[in-house]
Amino acid sequence: MRLLGVCLAALALTGAAAASDQNPTPAELESELVCPVCDSTLDTSNAEIARLMKARIRELIAAGATKSEIKDEFVEQFGTRVLAEPPKRGFNLLAWLLPLVGGGLALVAVGAVAWGWSRSRLPAEAEAALDPELERRLDDELDRFE
């Protein structure tokens, strides 16, 4: 039953993603494209080229272009550096994988250090032993409370 719910949720989300590609909004595209002059997203840039790109986005949306078609036009004109998110293929795949690999390696390193630290501690018997006279007095005191 749970699997059925997960499958239905996945199908519902796929429809929303497809609808977004077919009917993009200017704000959506402006947050996914980068100004080639100032290297910030179009929605935060006030550069002249950014204003021209925003106007072109609105023209293309009015003409019925999909999100991927609009992005493809800007990539053709400016290259992949105009995308706020690098494509998940080829050399750009490293931008997606390196943080995951680095995080995994950091977890392994912390685990290894913690494991080594916990193994280097002395067992309880090996710690400082009590003086025999002090141990006898402690036993006498404890016997009085029993």
pLDDT at residue 15, rounded to an integer: 46
pLDDT at residue 5, rounded to an integer: 58
Q: What percent of the chain has pLDDT over 70?
A: 78
* Average pLDDT across the chain, whole number: 82
- Alpha carbon dihedral 87, 92, 96, 101, in 10-degree steps, equals 160
Ramachandran angles phi, psi of 79, nearest 5°: 90, 175
Q: What percent of the chain has pLDDT over 90?
A: 44
**Choice among 15-19, 72-76, 99-103 with the minimum mean pLDDT:** 15-19
CB 43, CB 31: distance < 8 Å: yes
